[in-house]
Amino acid sequence: MTIAAPRSASDTREVRAAWRLSGALGILVIAAAGASLVIGRTSGGPTFGFGGPDLARIVLTEIRVPRTLLALLVGGTLGLCGAALQGLLRNPLAEPGLLGASSGAAFGAVLVFYFGLAGADSLMLPAGAVAGSLVALAALYGLAGRRGDFLTVVLAGIAINAFAAALTSLALNFAPSPYAALEILFWMLGSLADRSLAHVALALPLMVPGWLLVVAAARGLDALTLGEETAASLGLDPRRTQWLVIGGTALAVGGAVAVTGVVGFVGLVVPHLLRGRVGQHPSRLLLPSFLGGAVLTSVADVAIRLMPPGPELKLGVVTALLGAPFFLHLIVRARPAGGA
Amino acid sequence: MTLVARDVGVVYGTRVALQPVNVALERGELVALVGPNGAGKTSLLKALAGLLPHAGTVTWSGAALDSLASRARARLIAYLPQAASLHWPMTTRDLVALGRLPHRAFGAAPSEDDRAATEWALEQTETTAFAERTVDRLSSGERARVLLARALAVRAPVLLVDEPIAALDPYHQLQVMATLRTYASDGALVVAVLHDLPLVARFCARVLLLDAGAVVDDGNPERVLNARALERHYRVEPLVTTHEGEPLILPWRRLTPR
C-alpha cells in the first residue's frame, strides 16, 4: 500500500472518550461504595457512621462490606451482560432476564426452600439457584440447538422464562406455610440486605468466568453490527459469539441471582444510557456498562437505606418500579436501529 | 494465485440451487457473475466465500479453504452480501474500520496499516465527506458505498461482492465499477454479481453466465453476452453494438415469457 497514513481522528477520539467515560464511572463506583460503607439502616430509619468505635469492625465486615461488594458485583454483572446481550441480539431491548437464567435461578432457590432443605440464610439456597440457572441454560441449548438462530434463542428464552415463573408460582401456591410463602416471595423480590462474605465467596467464582466469556465475545459483537453473514466472513463465527455470551451470561447472572434474588432492568437501562457515548460500538460498551451497572445498583441500594422509617424496600422492587416505565418508554419511542 | 472451485454445488433441502461448478479464477481478474434471478449466482458467491455448506472443494493456490483458520480465511477473502444490514448507527469511519477486524489482535488498538486501509477505502468509494456522519443518516446509495468501503478495507486478495451497484446513481455505478477494476488490476481477484449488462460489458474482462443453477458460459463479454444467449437465458432481445471501440450491450425488448 502506497497511501500515507492520514490521521483517523474519529477512532482515536472515540476510544479515548470510552476510556474517559470508564474513568468517570470508576470514580462514581468509588463514591457509591464509600456512601454504601458509611450509611446504614435500622427499623428506625437511616443511620450514619458505625455506631461507635467498638462496633465499627463488626458492622463493616459483617454487614456493610458484603452488602457493598455484592451491590457492585451484581450490578456490574447485570450491566455487562445486558450490554453483551443487546449486542448479540442487536436489539436495545434485550435483558439478562430474557434468557431465562434469572427466573431459572429463582425457581431453583424456591425449590430448595420449598422442600425445607434450607433456611433463608443458608448457602443451600444459592446452590439451588445456581443449579436452576444451569438447568435453564441446558434447556435453552436443547431447545435452540447448536445452530439455532437468534430468534429461536430469544423465543426459547421467553418460553423458559414463562415456564420457570409458572413453576415458581406453583411452588408459592402450595407453600407449606404462610411464613414459608413470605420468605420465598421476599427472596424473589431481590435484595442485598443481610448478606455475608460467604455469599460473595459463592457468587464470585461463578461471576468471574462468566465475565471472561462475555468479554471474549467482544470482537464478535462488533462484527455482528454488520449482520451474521458479514461477521462470519470477518472470521468471527456468530455461533461462537452467541454461545460465549449466553454461557457467560448464564454463569454470571446465575451467580448474581443466587445471592441477591432477581434484580431486573439494570441490564436494560445502563447499556441504553451509555451506548451513545461510546459511538454505538458494542465492544466499547462492555466496560462502561459494567461500571455503570455497579454505580446504579449501589446508588439504588443506598437510596433504599435513606428511606423514611418503615419496612425496608426490596432492591428488586425499586429497580422494577423505575425500570418498567423506562422499558415502556423505549418501546414507544426508540425504534431499534435495525431499520438502518 | 488461483481460486479454484471443484464440483462446488449447493442444495437447499431438496432444491438444487447450484449444480456442480468447476471454475478457476485468477488474481488480476474482475469476473462478473450474471444470469436471471434465481440462477444460483449468490449461492456460488457464498460457496466461494465459505459461508454456505456446499459439495466439492474450493482451493486458493492449492490449499483447501476449509483447512484454513477462520481468521486466515477472513484475511484472504472479503465478502459483501447483498442488502447487508447495519444494526447500530456508528459513524461511517467506525463502520468501515470493522473491515480491519481480521487484522487486529484481541484488544489491540488499530495499527497504522488499519488506519491507512480505512482511509483508503473511504477515498475509493468517495465516502470520506461523510466519514463522521452516523450511518443512519445516509441515503441507501450512500450506505451501499459505505458497505463496499467496509469490504475494501479488508484489503483481501479475493473480493466477492453481491450486487454492489444496485442502489447507486449512474455516476457512482461507473465510479464503483472503475474502483473494482482497479482493485483487480492491482493484483486481486474480484468476483461481482451484477445485473447491469452494459457495465458488465464495459468493465469486466470475464463473464460467467448462470441459468437454472448451472454455469452455461464463461468467457469475455462479447462471447458470453451474445444476442442468442441473452434471448435464451434472460428472455430479452438485446441491442448489441460498439461505442468508442468497446462493446455496448443493452437489453432492448422482452420476449414472451417461458
Contact across the interface for A337 and B150, Cβ inside 8 Å: no
pLDDT at A95 over 90: no
Contact B117, A1 (CB under 8 A): yes
- CB within 8 Å of B32: residues ≥ 6 apart: B192, B193, B194, B200, B204, B206, B207, B208, B221
Contact B239, B249 (CB under 8 A): yes
Q: Which residue of A has its CA nearest to B121?
A: A3
> Which domains are delineated in chain B?
2-254 (3.40.50.300)
Contact across the interface for A8 and B110, Cβ inside 8 Å: yes
* Residue-averaged pLDDT of chain B: 94
* pLDDT of the residue at A121: 58
* pLDDT of the residue at A187: 66
pLDDT at A47 over 80: yes
* Residue-averaged pLDDT of chain A: 84
Examine residue A9 and state whether it is found in any structural domain, yes or no: no
Examine residue A1 and state whether it is found in any structural domain, yes or no: no
Q: State the average pLDDT over residues B145-174.
A: 97
Range of the domain at A162: 76-85+95-333
What's the total number of domains in chain A? 1
pTM: 0.89
* pLDDT of the residue at A259: 85
Q: Is A206 exposed, middle or buried (0-12, 13-18, 19+ CB in 10 A)?
A: buried
Would you place residue A6 in the very low, low, confident or very high pLDDT band (cuts 50, 70, 90)?
Answer: very low
Examine residue A38 and state whether it is found in any structural domain, yes or no: no
Examine residue A204 and state whether it is found in any structural domain, yes or no: yes
Least Cα distance to A267 among A100, A88, A99, A95 occurs for A95
* pLDDT of the residue at A334: 58
CA dist., res. B229 & res. B220, Å (int): 13
Contact A297, A75 (CB under 8 A): yes
Q: Give the closest-approach CA distance of A224 to chain B in angstroms.
A: 8
Q: State the average pLDDT over residues B231-237.
A: 95
Contact across the interface for B94 and A279, Cβ inside 8 Å: yes
CB proximity B153 to A under 8 Å? no
Contact across the interface for B155 and A218, Cβ inside 8 Å: no
Least Cα distance to B98 among A279, A224, A198, A199 occurs for A224
CA dist., res. B235 & res. B78, Å (int): 33
* pLDDT of the residue at A3: 41
Residue B154: HSE in the Cβ half-sphere, 13 Å Cα cutoff: 30
Which residues in chain B are contacts of A226 at CB distance < 8 A? 84-87, 95, 98, 147, 150
Q: Which residue has the higher pLDDT, B174 or A242?
A: B174
Q: Which residue has the higher pLDDT, B241 or A114?
A: B241
Would you place residue A5 in the very low, low, confident or very high pLDDT band (cuts 50, 70, 90)?
Answer: very low
* pLDDT of the residue at B214: 96
* pLDDT of the residue at B107: 78
Quick one: angle between helices A150-173 and A238-260, nearest 10?
A: 20
Restricting to B residues 104-123, those with a Cβ less than 8 Å away from any Cβ of A are 104, 106-107, 109-110, 112-113, 115-120, 123
Examine residue A45 and state whether it is found in any structural domain, yes or no: no
Examine residue A194 and state whether it is found in any structural domain, yes or no: yes
* pLDDT of the residue at B249: 92
CATH code assigned at A80: 1.10.3470.10
Q: Which of A156-160, A190-194, B96-100 has the highest mean pLDDT?
A: B96-100
Q: State the average pLDDT over residues A33-37.
A: 95
Q: State the average pLDDT over residues B44-63.
A: 95
Would you place residue A146 in the very low, low, confident or very high pLDDT band (cuts 50, 70, 90)?
Answer: low
Which residues in chain A are contacts of B80 at CB distance < 8 A? 230
Q: Which of A6-10, A143-147, A265-269, B232-236 has the highest mean pLDDT?
A: B232-236
Examine residue A48 and state whether it is found in any structural domain, yes or no: no
Q: Give the closest-approach CA distance of A92 to chain B in angstroms.
A: 10
Examine residue A50 and state whether it is found in any structural domain, yes or no: no
pLDDT at A98 over 80: no
* pLDDT of the residue at A2: 40
